[in-house]
Amino acid sequence: MKWYDHLYIGTNAAERLEEIREDVEQDEFVFPQLYLITLASNGIDQLDLFAAKSLAYQKAAVRRAGMLVGAAIGRAEAMEVLQKIASDTVLATGGCDMRSYLLKRYHTDLTEQILEGGM
């Protein structure tokens, strides 16, 4: 799973980011109440919100999941993270196309890294 360079992360999740990163990379999802926010895998919706524990038994869903753009511990924190993504999108673009905003920001970062010789 690709990780977004500017990962949106809830306060509680930020305290355990390295543990969360290891679990996600190993498809272990042992954190209770961990929610992952990804770019939607179906190409129609903007974002997908998963309770990570549901992914522990769905390896195919993990492989289909889009880029990981956010993480939170608890549903309330996940809603706060989604609200932050929406707010940043509106402030930056004047619109609400979160998927396009996040992808554009990601591709801009890649281009800058290439131009700087980082890749």
- 3-state per-residue secondary structure call for 11-71: HHHHCCHHHHHHHHHCCCCCCCCEEEEEECCCCCCCEEEEEHHHHCCCHHHHHHCCCEEEE
Mean pLDDT of the chain: 83
Q: Judging by beta carbons within 10 Å of its beta carbon (0-12, 13-18, 19+), is residue 58 exposed, middle or buried?
A: middle
From CA 78, how far away is CA 95, in angstroms rounded? 21
Q: What percent of the chain has pLDDT over 90?
A: 45
Compute the average pLDDT of residues 75-84: 97
DSSP state of 116: T
Three-state DSSP class for residue 80: helix
Residue pLDDT, tens place only, 48-58:
898 887 766 66
Give 61 or 113, the one with higher predicted confidence.
61
DSSP state of 117: T
* Residue 56 pLDDT: 62
From CA 36, how far away is CA 51, in angstroms rounded? 7
pLDDT band at 73 (very low <50, low <70, confident <90, very high): very high
Compute the average pLDDT of residues 94-112: 81
Does the pLDDT of residue 112 top 60, yes or no? no
For residue 93, the one-letter residue type is T
Structure tokens at 26: 């190993």
Let me know how long the chain is.
119
